[in-house]
Structure 1
């Protein structure tokens, strides 16, 4: 069996692959993550996942490499990660009481083939008070997350409803990724 590499330093993606008992290593991608302003969100997330996978695959052509990227979209505009406290507060105020989309793109590369797909989940936030936003930002959780929140942590208290794949909001659509990995002859470790 070929070695499996996750081209991501995301602790959430690592946890998710471990949850399904995959044996893998992590190699962080140094791919350029700049986006063209006229790209549609689905094109952007697929492009980023592919660039990450390709960058690591170039150094490990004997492996099967997974690249992934997650973006938050509000009113067809991609919302990035906050650069500072004020940016996190502004993003959360913008998401308050609104529905937005979380898209996670996944690219899996081996020497014989490449597969890319994305998953979109709609997320509805509660109406958030300034106090709730300030307390959440003070926790430090928003700062490495697209849209300034993490659904798997304290950010769960901000989310009223989701329609779609919870794991995709965390950063990796597990079931879809597992099925794609099977086509590369990659399976979890037996229990």
Structure 2
């Protein structure tokens, strides 16, 4: 069987793949994540997932390569990873009491074979108090996460409702990835 390479250093994606007992190696891609400003959130995640997978696939065409990218969007406004406490606070205030969308794009490549897709999950936050936001920021959890929160950690306290694939919000739509790998011949 060919091997599977995760083109990501994300500890969350690593844990998710381990959860479904796939054996894989990790090779971080270092692609430029600049995208055209007119792209919609689902186009952004698919383009970046494909860039990440291609960079590794070119060097390892005999392997299955999995690239992925996740963004949080309020309408068409994409919220990246906050660079400061102020930016994290602004994002959390924006998300408070509202429903936003989390898009995760996935690209799986092997030689000429390709599977490219995305999942959209709607997440609704509770109306957050200033104290709740401040306590969450002090935890430092918001700083390496798109949209300034991690649903799998303390950020779970902020979430009122999830419509769609929970695992996609964490960083990888597991069941869809599993099925795509099976359809591509990785899993027999």
TM-score for both structures, normalised by structure 2 = 0.97
Counterparts of 1:73-92 in structure 2 under 5 Å? Answer: 73-92=73-92
Aligned to 1:163: 163
Q: Is contact 1:82–1:148 with CA below 8 Å preserved after alignment?
A: yes
> SS in structure 1 opposite 2:132?
helix
> Partners in 2 of 1:181 and 1:121 — Cα distance?
21
- In structure 1, what is the Cα distance between the partners aligned to 2:97 and 2:145? 19
How far 1:61 sits from its partner (Å)?
1.7
How many Å separate the matches in 1 of 2:163 and 2:141? 23
Q: What is the alpha-carbon distance in structure 1 between the residues aligned to residue 36 and residue 87 of structure 2?
A: 21
Corresponding residue for 1:153?
A: 153
Give, in angstroms, the shift of residue 187 of structure 1. Answer: 2.9
1:12-36 deviation digits (Å, cap 9, x = unpaired): 1000100011000000010111121
Q: Within 2, Cα distance between the matches of 1:187 and 1:84?
A: 43
Q: How does 1:8-157 map to 2 (within 5 A)?
A: 8-157=8-157
Aligned length, in residue pairs: 188
Deviation at 1:160, TM superposition (A): 0.3
Unaligned 5+ segments in structure 1 are none
Q: Distance in 1 between matches of 2:171 and 2:181?
A: 16
Q: TM-score, normalised by structure 1?
A: 0.96
Residue ranges of structure 2 left out of the alignment (5+ in a row): none
2:22, 2:116 → 1: CA distance?
A: 19
CA RMSD of aligned residues (A): 1.0
